[in-house]
Amino acid sequence: MSDFIQEANNSFVKVTLVDGVATLRLNRPEKSNAFNAEVIEELINSLDRLDSNEQVNVLVLAGAGKHFSAGADLKWMKSMGQAGYDENLADANRLALLMERLYHFTKPTIAMVQGSAFGGALGLICCCDIAVGTHTSRFCLSEVKLGLVPSVISPYVNRAIGPRQMRRYTLTAELMDAELALKLGILHEIVEDGELQSTVEKLCQQIKANGPAALASAKQLLDMIQNHPIGNETRQYTSDLIARLRVSEEGQEGLSAFLEKRPPRWKGYTGDLS
């Protein structure tokens, strides 16, 4: 990756932007990156800014220190237990909004997972398009151990691992190692600890070589076909989409570059795509 371009530091979230790759890093290593109301707000605000930033091609979600995230801060959760229903509902809505914003982020997203990812942290990972972990990564839907349920993260974890597996690991709160997480679909790839950063960087480079408008359209397409039965609506949507992309500036450039055996010159990106 090239020289540092931009960095912004909030209280608990660190944001960097280098060569089109934005890294959103949970920055509470002394608390194993557990999140509270402040962290949730900073993540939402950071996602909003990055999603509207045309310089961003890829988003990497990571955690500082030994662990990706221990999930919700238990002291914060205990304090919320002393609040009323309305306050808890408003708080839960913010966490649900965070998951939704990450899931619908218009650029490709990659979770870079080291150490533990428990509770809500597993939801964040399942909201990302791609997840890479290490052999020492550990995962758990731990909420029932606390007398709670993985409520707002359940739609995203369920989509990642399927309803049958969701039933087991929600009800047992078993610890899942990296190999099981790979088998279940939580992770796409497992690497050695020292290879995590370079593996994610390679994925970012592969993604940046693709058309940015096509990537955004691909994310919308994948969401649509998952949520609609095969039929007239799906046929019309998919036919219209490919027709529009074929005649678009980006589609024409991609086809021309392929036929001319040269790297495409995508609009808004001037980096080396070779």
pLDDT tens sequence across 193-213: 999 999 999 999 999 999 999
Is 115 in the same domain as 53? yes
Tell me if 56 is assigned to some domain: yes
Closest CA to 178 of 188, 163, 168, 164: 188
CATH number at residue 190: 3.90.226.10
Tell me if 1 is assigned to some domain: no
Is 171 in the same domain as 236? no
Confidence of residue 272 (pLDDT cuts 50, 70, 90): very low
Cβ distance 25 to 13 under 8 Å?
A: yes
**Predicted pLDDT at 81:** 79
Is 98 in the same domain as 82? yes
Count of H helices and E strands in the chain? 11, 10
Biggest alpha carbon–alpha carbon distance for the chain: 66
Tell me if 61 is assigned to some domain: yes
Q: How far apart are CA 173 and CA 55, in angstroms?
A: 40
Tell me if 264 is assigned to some domain: no
Q: How far apart are CA 224 and CA 226, in angstroms?
A: 5
Is 217 in the same domain as 142? no
Is 174 in the same domain as 226? no
Which residues face 114 on adjacent strands? none
> Is pLDDT at 270 greater than 70 in this prediction?
no
Q: How many domains does the chain have?
A: 2
**Predicted pLDDT at 265:** 87
Tell me if 40 is assigned to some domain: yes
Is 194 in the same domain as 67? yes
Sheet of 116-118, strand order? 116-118, 138-140, 176-177
Is 128 in the same domain as 244? no
Helical residues (DSSP H) of the chain, grouped into ranges: 37-51, 74-81, 85-103, 120-127, 154-161, 163-172, 178-184, 196-208, 212-227, 232-247, 249-259
Is 199 in the same domain as 251? no
AA letter at 244: R
Is 157 in the same domain as 244? no
Is 119 in the same domain as 10? yes
Is 71 in the same domain as 181? yes
Is 51 in the same domain as 169? yes
Q: What number is the average pLDDT over the span 31-56? A: 95
Closest CA to 68 of 112, 36, 24, 9: 112
- Domain of residue 245, residue span: 212-259
